[in-house]
Structure 1
Amino acid sequence: MSSMVSMMVSLICIALAWWSLQSVKFDLWIKNPKGGQGRLLHLFLAVVLGRLVAGFLLDYISWSQLLRYMFVE
Protein backbone atom coordinates (compact mmCIF):
# COMPACT_ATOMS: atom_id res chain seq x y z
CA MET A 1 0.00 0.00 0.00
CA SER A 2 2.79 2.45 0.81
CA SER A 3 4.36 1.96 -2.62
CA MET A 4 1.07 2.93 -4.29
CA VAL A 5 0.83 6.03 -2.10
CA SER A 6 4.43 6.93 -2.94
CA MET A 7 3.79 6.56 -6.66
CA MET A 8 0.63 8.66 -6.52
CA VAL A 9 2.25 11.42 -4.44
CA SER A 10 5.22 11.50 -6.83
CA LEU A 11 3.02 11.73 -9.93
CA ILE A 12 0.83 14.43 -8.39
CA CYS A 13 3.87 16.47 -7.37
CA ILE A 14 5.42 16.13 -10.84
CA ALA A 15 2.14 17.25 -12.42
CA LEU A 16 1.95 20.23 -10.06
CA ALA A 17 5.57 21.12 -10.84
CA TRP A 18 4.82 20.94 -14.57
CA TRP A 19 1.79 23.19 -14.08
CA SER A 20 3.74 25.69 -11.98
CA LEU A 21 6.63 25.80 -14.48
CA GLN A 22 4.19 26.92 -17.19
CA SER A 23 4.42 30.46 -15.82
CA VAL A 24 8.23 30.62 -16.07
CA LYS A 25 9.52 32.55 -19.07
CA PHE A 26 12.09 30.12 -20.43
CA ASP A 27 12.72 32.28 -23.49
CA LEU A 28 14.97 34.46 -21.32
CA TRP A 29 17.45 31.58 -20.91
CA ILE A 30 16.76 29.24 -23.83
CA LYS A 31 17.04 30.11 -27.52
CA ASN A 32 14.02 28.09 -28.61
CA PRO A 33 11.81 27.14 -25.63
CA LYS A 34 9.09 25.69 -27.88
CA GLY A 35 11.54 23.31 -29.57
CA GLY A 36 12.31 19.76 -28.57
CA GLN A 37 15.27 20.60 -26.36
CA GLY A 38 13.35 23.32 -24.53
CA ARG A 39 10.39 21.03 -23.87
CA LEU A 40 12.70 18.24 -22.71
CA LEU A 41 14.40 20.63 -20.29
CA HIS A 42 10.96 21.69 -19.04
CA LEU A 43 10.05 18.04 -18.49
CA PHE A 44 13.32 17.31 -16.67
CA LEU A 45 12.86 20.34 -14.42
CA ALA A 46 9.31 19.25 -13.61
CA VAL A 47 10.44 15.71 -12.75
CA VAL A 48 13.33 16.90 -10.57
CA LEU A 49 11.29 19.54 -8.76
CA GLY A 50 8.29 17.24 -8.35
CA ARG A 51 10.44 14.40 -7.03
CA LEU A 52 12.11 16.68 -4.50
CA VAL A 53 8.76 17.91 -3.21
CA ALA A 54 7.33 14.38 -3.17
CA GLY A 55 10.38 13.11 -1.28
CA PHE A 56 9.90 15.81 1.32
CA LEU A 57 6.19 15.04 1.70
CA LEU A 58 6.76 11.29 1.97
CA ASP A 59 9.54 11.78 4.51
CA TYR A 60 7.32 14.11 6.51
CA ILE A 61 4.51 11.55 6.54
CA SER A 62 6.85 8.77 7.65
CA TRP A 63 8.39 10.95 10.36
CA SER A 64 4.98 11.93 11.67
CA GLN A 65 4.02 8.24 11.88
CA LEU A 66 7.18 7.54 13.89
CA LEU A 67 6.28 10.20 16.46
CA ARG A 68 3.89 7.84 18.22
CA TYR A 69 6.85 5.64 19.22
CA MET A 70 8.44 8.51 21.13
CA PHE A 71 5.78 8.35 23.80
CA VAL A 72 5.58 4.56 24.23
CA GLU A 73 7.20 3.21 27.35
Structure 2
Amino acid sequence: MWDAAGNALASAAMFNMVVSLVFIAISWWALQVFKFDLFIRNVNSVQAKLLQLLLSVFIGHGVASFFIEYLNWTTMLRYIF
Protein backbone atom coordinates (compact mmCIF):
# COMPACT_ATOMS: atom_id res chain seq x y z
CA MET A 1 0.00 0.00 0.00
CA TRP A 2 2.47 2.66 1.22
CA ASP A 3 5.78 3.14 -0.45
CA ALA A 4 8.90 4.41 1.33
CA ALA A 5 8.19 8.04 0.43
CA GLY A 6 4.66 7.78 1.77
CA ASN A 7 5.91 6.31 5.04
CA ALA A 8 8.50 9.05 5.40
CA LEU A 9 5.92 11.74 4.69
CA ALA A 10 3.44 10.26 7.15
CA SER A 11 6.02 9.96 9.90
CA ALA A 12 7.21 13.54 9.30
CA ALA A 13 3.61 14.76 9.52
CA MET A 14 3.08 12.85 12.76
CA PHE A 15 6.34 14.24 14.19
CA ASN A 16 5.33 17.81 13.26
CA MET A 17 1.89 17.38 14.86
CA VAL A 18 3.35 15.98 18.09
CA VAL A 19 6.00 18.70 18.30
CA SER A 20 3.35 21.39 17.74
CA LEU A 21 1.08 19.97 20.44
CA VAL A 22 3.98 19.66 22.89
CA PHE A 23 5.02 23.28 22.39
CA ILE A 24 1.42 24.48 22.65
CA ALA A 25 1.14 22.62 25.97
CA ILE A 26 4.42 24.13 27.16
CA SER A 27 3.17 27.59 26.16
CA TRP A 28 -0.08 27.02 28.08
CA TRP A 29 1.92 25.94 31.13
CA ALA A 30 4.24 28.94 30.86
CA LEU A 31 1.33 31.38 30.52
CA GLN A 32 -0.13 30.17 33.82
CA VAL A 33 2.31 32.40 35.73
CA PHE A 34 1.53 35.51 33.65
CA LYS A 35 -0.56 38.07 35.58
CA PHE A 36 -3.48 38.54 33.21
CA ASP A 37 -5.39 40.49 35.87
CA LEU A 38 -3.27 43.54 35.00
CA PHE A 39 -4.83 43.62 31.52
CA ILE A 40 -8.15 41.79 31.83
CA ARG A 41 -11.10 42.74 34.04
CA ASN A 42 -12.45 39.25 34.79
CA VAL A 43 -9.60 36.75 34.70
CA ASN A 44 -11.86 33.75 35.35
CA SER A 45 -14.23 34.44 32.44
CA VAL A 46 -14.56 32.19 29.43
CA GLN A 47 -13.23 34.97 27.21
CA ALA A 48 -10.07 35.29 29.30
CA LYS A 49 -9.46 31.54 29.15
CA LEU A 50 -10.07 31.58 25.39
CA LEU A 51 -7.56 34.41 25.03
CA GLN A 52 -5.05 32.39 27.03
CA LEU A 53 -5.68 29.37 24.81
CA LEU A 54 -5.27 31.43 21.62
CA LEU A 55 -2.04 32.96 22.93
CA SER A 56 -0.79 29.46 23.75
CA VAL A 57 -1.55 28.25 20.24
CA PHE A 58 0.06 31.33 18.69
CA ILE A 59 3.24 31.11 20.77
CA GLY A 60 3.43 27.30 20.65
CA HIS A 61 3.01 27.20 16.88
CA GLY A 62 5.73 29.80 16.41
CA VAL A 63 8.18 27.97 18.63
CA ALA A 64 7.33 24.60 17.06
CA SER A 65 7.80 26.03 13.56
CA PHE A 66 11.19 27.39 14.53
CA PHE A 67 12.19 24.06 16.11
CA ILE A 68 11.08 22.02 13.08
CA GLU A 69 12.76 24.38 10.61
CA TYR A 70 15.96 24.35 12.64
CA LEU A 71 15.89 20.55 12.67
CA ASN A 72 15.38 20.51 8.90
CA TRP A 73 18.27 22.94 8.42
CA THR A 74 20.59 20.79 10.48
CA THR A 75 19.69 17.71 8.43
CA MET A 76 20.45 19.66 5.24
CA LEU A 77 23.96 20.48 6.46
CA ARG A 78 25.15 17.02 5.45
CA TYR A 79 24.90 18.12 1.79
CA ILE A 80 27.62 20.75 2.30
CA PHE A 81 30.43 18.18 2.36
Coarse TM-score class (shorter-chain normalised): over 0.9
RMSD: 0.4
Q: Which amino acid aligns with 1:48?
A: F
Q: How far apart, in 1, do the equivalents of 2:54 and 2:25 lie?
A: 12
Aligned with residue 40 of structure 1, among 27, 33, 50:
50
Q: Which runs of 5+ in 2 are unaligned?
A: 1-10
User: What residue identity is the alignment partner of 1:51?
Assistant: H
Q: Note the C-alpha offset of 1:5.
A: 0.4
Q: Which has the larger radius of gyration?
A: 2
Cross-structure match for 2:18: 8
Taking structure 1 as the reference length, the TM-score comes to 0.96
Runs of 4 or more consecutive aligned structure 1 residues displaced over 3 Å after TM superposition: none
If the length of structure 2 is used for normalisation, what is the TM-score? 0.86
Instruction: Find the aligned partners of 1:68 and 1:28 in 2 and give their Cα distance.
Output: 49
Alignment coverage as a number of residue pairs: 71
Aligned to 1:58: 68
SS of alignment partner, residue 67 of structure 1: helix
- Percent identity between the two aligned chains: 46
